[in-house]
Amino acid sequence: MKTDARAAAARVLTQVIESGRSLADALPPYQNRFADARDAALLQELVYGTTRWYFRLDALLELLLKKPLKSRDLDIKCLLLTGLYQLDKLSMPQRVAVNETVQAVRALDKEWAHGLVNAVLRSFQRDRERLNRVIAENPVALHAHPDWLIELLQNDWPIYWREILSANNARPPFSLRVNRQRVTRDEYLGLLEEHAMHAEPLAWTGQGICLTSPVSVEALPGFSCGDISVQDGAAQLAAELLQLAPGQRVLDACAAPGGKTALILETEPSACVTAVDIDAGRLSKVGENLARLGLHAELVAGDAGNPAGWWDGGLFERILLDVPCTATGVIRRHPDIKLLRRREDVMKLASRQSAILQAVWPLLAPGGMLLYCTCSMLAAENSGQIGSFLEQHGDAMEAPIDANWGHRCGHGRQILPGEDEMDGFYFACLQKNI
Ligand SMILES: C[S@@+](CC[C@H](N)C(=O)[O-])C[C@H]1O[C@@H](n2cnc3c(N)ncnc32)[C@H](O)[C@@H]1O
């Protein structure tokens, strides 16, 4: 069955590269085919690991192949990449990695590739030191990122770009949010110990914890009754930054799947929250998440860039604007971003963000506060975006974020991926003049 996991990995990766499907979309149907959880876990490890190291593995493969494979044999290329990943980065016995990967050609119906896969993997084993020296000269292979993203990060983070690239290639922590309406963080940490699970409090939040070894969410005590949710520590900072007060009208303008909607309501249960998302399918996830937690918000499927379609005319005291972005701060969680995003997406997303920000600003009450955030590392979506907005809106004032986490930017504050176990995240607080 392990052979099938490798062939399935090749198929999933083919879909990501050829059709631009995300791993979150392409992987589950294949995982569900495995009765044995170990095969599903191996498949997950292979696709996430190979994607994480794609630009390094691809450079190695180019050196190892005498001539490039035909485009119709992308599945074999992907199988070879997963084989190289196992030899390069995993601690499994090398003999097993080679033999099982070679056998997987049968499950792909490409018996002709048996000799090729065997030859490529064995020549990597023989020649790996020389190959590593050759690719060390190539920044794309060395940092395992696309060239356009390396360039943008060098430009926006001249001191930290290497740390950012390296953090993007690390495995993410398993971060959780304790529902303080139901249980304290200390009580929940005690509950985990009783279940032989160890976790540490996350810095800078009153409710975040980090589990030492990942488990399925269903295995977490109290998950089904709403004691605990999966959420990165950086995202959890939104609650404090919003400075919520009882009974406020709050707009969560890009809400799905509802992580921050739930955080707002767990922090201030009397808040009157309207959760908007343009994607009705994703919005239904907000409903499911809130139902599990016993929380309530008004759910609206609509375009935040065009409030006329859904707004009742009542002003909001708080607006959370967690805009769609390049997600370049969460690459360690979603390594397929390196393959799916293009340089031109940055400006397209920046102009969508600007349109949404301009459209929701009139919905904010005088004296109210809008929290703009992204999981991007790029200035065009963050500090640059807020700078242009402030130039054009005389009734907006930036409320500086005085914090011990992250880095102050021209406008707003940025957390780099991996800092204090958090994802790369950007926040800016905008206040409306009275
Ligand atoms: C970064 S995600 C939000 C994550 C969410 N705040 C959370 O914490 O779970 C961005 C969301 O914006 C939504 N979106 C994109 N364009 C939008 C628009 N014009 N109006 C409303 N929602 C939009 C996307 O469907 C996506 O669900």
Among 175, 265, 277, the mutation site with the greatest number of ligand 1 atoms within 8 A of its Cβ is: 277
Under the banding of pLDDT at 50, 70 and 90, the label for residue 434 is confident
For residues 88, 91, 93 and 97, what is the CA-based torsion angle, rounded to 10 degrees?
-50
Residue 368, classed as helix, strand or coil, is strand
Two tokens at 260?
């921050």
The residue nearest atom 10 of ligand 1, judged by CA position, is: 324
Residue 2 has pLDDT above 90, yes or no: no
Quick one: which atom of ligand 1 is closest to the CA of 320? Answer: 6
Contact 145, 165 (CB under 8 A): yes
- Taking the C-alpha atoms of residue 131 and residue 125, their distance in angstroms, rounded to an integer, is 10
What is the torsional sign of CA 386, 390, 412, 379? positive
Q: Quick one: average pLDDT of 15-26?
A: 97
Secondary-structure percent of the chain, ordered helix, strand, coil, rounded to 5: 50, 15, 35
DSSP 356-397: HHHHHGGGEEEEEEEEEEES---GGGTHHHHHHHHHH-TTEE
| One-letter amino acid of 8 | A
375 part of the active site: yes
The residue nearest atom 11 of ligand 1, judged by CA position, is: 254
Q: Find, among 300, 248, 298, the residue nearest to 279 by Cα.
A: 300
First to last CA, the chain: 66
Under the banding of pLDDT at 50, 70 and 90, the label for residue 352 is very high
pLDDT by residue (tens digit) across 111-129? 999 999 999 999 999 999 9
Contact 198, 192 (CB under 8 A): yes
In order of 29, 153, 166, 280, the CA distances from 277 in angstroms are 26, 30, 33, 7
Residue 189 has pLDDT above 50, yes or no: yes
The residue nearest atom 17 of ligand 1, judged by CA position, is: 278
Residue 251 has pLDDT above 60, yes or no: yes
Bridging pattern class, strands 272-277 and 174-178: unpaired
Per DSSP, 309 falls in state G
Q: Residue 408 CB: number of other CB atoms within 10 A?
A: 13
Two tokens at 322?
């967690």
Residue ranges in 136-249 assigned as alpha helix (H): 139-143, 147-156, 161-168, 185-194, 233-241
Q: How far is the CA of 256 from the centre of ligand 1 (A)?
A: 6
Contact 397, 431 (CB under 8 A): yes
Q: Find, among 185, 193, 268, 280, the residue nearest to 227 by Cα.
A: 185
Q: How far is the CA of 350 from the centre of ligand 1 (A)?
A: 14
Q: How far is the CA of 252 from the centre of ligand 1 (A)?
A: 9
Q: Quick one: average pLDDT of 305-312?
A: 96
Quick one: which atom of ligand 1 is closest to the CA of 322? Answer: 6
Residue 1 has pLDDT above 50, yes or no: no
Q: Quick one: average pLDDT of 364-373?
A: 98
Residues at CB less than 6 angstroms from ligand 1: 235, 254-260, 276-279, 282, 303-305, 322, 324, 356
Q: How far is the CA of 255 from the centre of ligand 1 (A)?
A: 5
Q: Find, among 45, 413, 30, 106, the residue nearest to 234 by Cα.
A: 413
Contact 121, 87 (CB under 8 A): yes
Q: How far is the CA of 372 from the centre of ligand 1 (A)?
A: 12
Quick one: which atom of ligand 1 is closest to the CA of 260? Answer: 8
Contact 83, 120 (CB under 8 A): yes
pLDDT value at residue 3: 54
pLDDT value at residue 101: 97
Among 237, 254, 311, 423, the mutation site with the greatest number of ligand 1 atoms within 8 A of its Cβ is: 254
Q: Quick one: average pLDDT of 314-338?
A: 98
Residues of the chain above pLDDT 70, percent: 99
- Taking the C-alpha atoms of residue 26 and residue 210, their distance in angstroms, rounded to an integer, is 27
Quick one: which atom of ligand 1 is closest to the CA of 305? Answer: 19
Per DSSP, 380 falls in state G
The single residue listed with the structure tokens 């005498």 is: 66
Backbone angles phi, psi at 268, to 5 degrees: -140, 85
Q: 3-state SS string over 21-85?
A: CCHHHHHHHHHCCCCCHHHHHHHHHHHHHHHHCHHHHHHHHHHHCCCCCCHHHHHHHHHHHHHHH
The residue nearest atom 15 of ligand 1, judged by CA position, is: 324
Contact 338, 54 (CB under 8 A): yes
pLDDT by residue (tens digit) across 376-413? 999 999 999 999 999 999 999 999 999 999 999 999 99
Counting Cβ atoms within 10 Å, is residue 114 exposed (0-12), middle (13-18) or buried (19+)? middle
Quick one: which atom of ligand 1 is closest to the CA of 325? Answer: 1
Task: Please pick, among 210, 375, 409, 429, the residue that the annotation labels catalytic.
Answer: 375
Q: How far is the CA of 370 from the centre of ligand 1 (A)?
A: 16
pLDDT by residue (tens digit) across 67-90? 999 999 999 999 999 999 999 999
Residue 423 has pLDDT above 90, yes or no: yes
The residue nearest atom 1 of ligand 1, judged by CA position, is: 324
Tell me the Cα Rg of the chain: 23
